[in-house]
Structure 1
Amino acid sequence: MQHYRKDKIAGYLFGLMALCAVLLVVALAIGLYLKASPILHEQGLWSLLTTTTWKPMKGQFGFLPFLAGTGAVTLLAVVMSLPLSLLMAIYLAEYAGKRVQKFSTALLDILASLPSVLYGVWGSLIIIPWIADTLAPKLGVTTSGYTVLAGGIVLGVMIIPLMVSLFVEIFRGVPTLLKESSLALGATHWQTIKFVVLRKSLPGIIATVVLAVSRALGETIAVMMVCGNLPIVPKSILDACYPLPALIANNYGEMMSMPLYESALMLAALILFVLVFVFNLGARIVLKKIQS
């Protein structure tokens, strides 16, 4: 009887903790909305999201350049890092020896724990000069190097350790019996990986990509250092851009004397919150359909 009461109390406590997590998300959304409401009431959400002019001193707050910059950098980072991460994880989980696995795991942990500002410095010293002095001239383009491409490369490198580590764990979680059954039927090692391991791991792969995109959407310092921070809609990967997190980080200290400016930055934070929430919700729906 006493153990039953303890289990019941523990269940209530865990339920309360879960409810607190939900309420925290709701409170965060409500707080951001209340702070952003002045500019929403004055100019309207559709006008703010579809205009391109950003002149806070004149009361013009067009968020389209920032949305485009955020999407461009994040999409480029995922497109560049996903194939490489998958191939690295397949090698580490299915082909590499124990020594290589231990060394690679330690190296990935170091890369994942590095401060984002170091990636920004690396991008400024290596990637930007390479784009400006080597890549752009070959393509017949003149650029300073502070571009969508630089932001995508830096951000892609930053999310590779996270994706590889999760992919390896997912691949290792595939039951050995399934692999042995495939090999026993005459399939090669690669065919087993392709038709058994990858298919069985598909929900986990999608969940990992969602987590990586969420991380990429919120990254600030590294991207801010290499993307150029110009409020324009980028027409190519060699144009500058201005992602939403960089907008908030660059301007938050300047808006204290301008209530409408403060409201605009809070709206930027709210948009970022909604993007991450909707993306994760959509991924959950896709995962349920795949698993059903």
Structure 2
Amino acid sequence: MQTLNMLLETALDDSLVIAGRRFTSRLMTGTGKYRTFEEMRQSIAASECEIVTVAVRRVQTQAPGHEGLADALDWSKIWMLPNTAGCQTADEAIRVARLGREMAKLLGQEDNNFVKLEVIPDAKYLLPDPIGTLEAAEQLVKEGFAVLPYINADPILAKRLEEAGCATVMPLGSPIGSGQGIKNAANIQIIIENATIPVVVDAGIGTPSEAAQAMEMGADALLINTAIAQAANAPAMARAMHLAHQAGRLAYQSGRIPVKAYASASSPLTGTITS
């Protein structure tokens, strides 16, 4: 039993490294759509995540549900991931990213240069603009940001962003908040195979089984917001997502059996009674 525990601990003790910073959790969560700040705090604690996204523009404008958000969490324990949600152009996203970096400094994270880059002109499906995202990423990398771009599951764009110096790529599983699960599995698999930076599956995950599926595919991390925040019991769902992403990661590390078109007996056929 001691050997088994040691093997499991070794498998689970594989840190996520983004832009040289090490994290023990591979689950990121958001701060939007919760019914109350207390529910948000309980959910973040239950998820055991270390990275939490904050919509800079909505905090700056004190949008409904974001009043006092910056002071609602203990930023000495949680790494802030400012995001450029609500930006429709590259120029807007660049300006908001700069505000996000200053906001992180004001909250005590002096060395935080992370930004989740979102450039979304599409109001109906909230699909990211690939050209604007690449333009903004190139400029922000020049300014010293660790850029985590939210993108369609486009393997060519993912490689271009990696070559531009992005810290991760974040392909969507399906549209934001849709709960449709992993609809782009084939393309995400190609992105994972070709990337030398972390691949974070972001958007569309609705259930723990879908979270596990993404990790089993080899994703380095997940970002989940709506599926937790809008669940009937948000803290319980946060805990379920934590367990699911761990199970998926362990399954990926363990190496699944190959898929076959025919049956394979579980019991050996040698030494059986034949008469």
Q: If the TM-score is normalised by the length of the shorter chain, which range does it land in?
A: under 0.3
**TM-score, normalisation: structure 2:** 0.25
More helix per residue? 1
**TM-score, normalisation: structure 1:** 0.24
Whichever of the two has the greater Rg, that structure is: 1
More strand per residue? 2
Report which structure shows greater RCO (CA 8 Å, sep ≥6): 1
